Structure 1
């Protein structure tokens, strides 16, 4: 990270990239694009050791740029708080109204990209997710987490698929209209309202509260997947 001012600490640098990391994990470029969009639309927290109780500052701007080796980097501008007044001026989750002011810093970082050190080469077979509602949900669950306030935020995409949840709609099912989130391996069958996405009940097993929130967030952010689910429900009724 490079420091740009002597007042409030404004730092610019590479936040992440599509390179395979030390944990043998790779972030998909699509996630970097989504995260850059989020950074430019709202103030995203900068945390100490990923601890929501230790807020250090916020991200002011982001941009995805191609690196010299053909991989992609998420460039970011971060403001580090020096006192409570600064924290109150840029509340986490509020609309980002200053992103455009940091275009010059992002341009500077793009120019520096060819000279930045690249990680050592590593090879890994990346898991692909089926292009279905179930596959998209598995990817979403595998690429997000939930903050203490209930908001869903992006994390790195895992290389190994840990999600075992499936979406199911049964023919001639009873009211209210609903869909099932099912897992054979975990012996879970939970019901969600088809329209409101409200968690209704679990026929057996249980979903963690964060999984409930992630399922709801997935369909809220993916209207096409939600529409496909409702169409399948209607077809089967």
Structure 2
């Protein structure tokens, strides 16, 4: 049987070095057929102290926002920072995960690869939806700027250049070619990552699909705790989000 495609799991985090070490060990133990890449958005001092690899420091200030939608938090800096590592690893797929996303099953990346194959997709994300011609606040906030729709018209290969998609930033899964294409973009305005990533992939000609049936396990409004893990496993969850402070506890990842 052919070896499964090698996946790079990009873990976006700002936590302390000991927490990051526990997180990486946990992810690696549950899926040996992937590479763990830390995209670090904390301090330079903590980055220097990280005893993990590979790791990249993300200097982009637009990762470090407080009111993420209003300040239009961006992951383009993350994508661009890790792209040389992705190319050096020569992986076929990229999983973009946040530090408070916890895998509950072993071999999750093989499941995600299989899901992309079944969907004939290039990108999959949670809460994927179309926003243009809606009153969604993320969309209405952006469309006031004429440069927003103008930008999609400059890059699209689609017949409908007005399409705007949205998906969660955590837990997105990409074929490498789609990840690279989006990472290489340099839009003339900042676009909130939940809109930027799926909309750019769509207009560049990639097939973007939802992760059906899994959105409730990743819902950011519902905080999860380690006490919820077994129940979510029984419900079929591959991973859950958000679990705050898990890696900061000495027993985190046990």
TM range (shorter): under 0.3
- Report the TM-score, using the length of structure 2 for normalisation: 0.25
The structure in which a higher percent of residues are strand is 1
Give 1 or 2 for the bigger CA radius of gyration: 1
The structure in which a higher percent of residues are helix is 2
- Report the TM-score, using the length of structure 1 for normalisation: 0.26
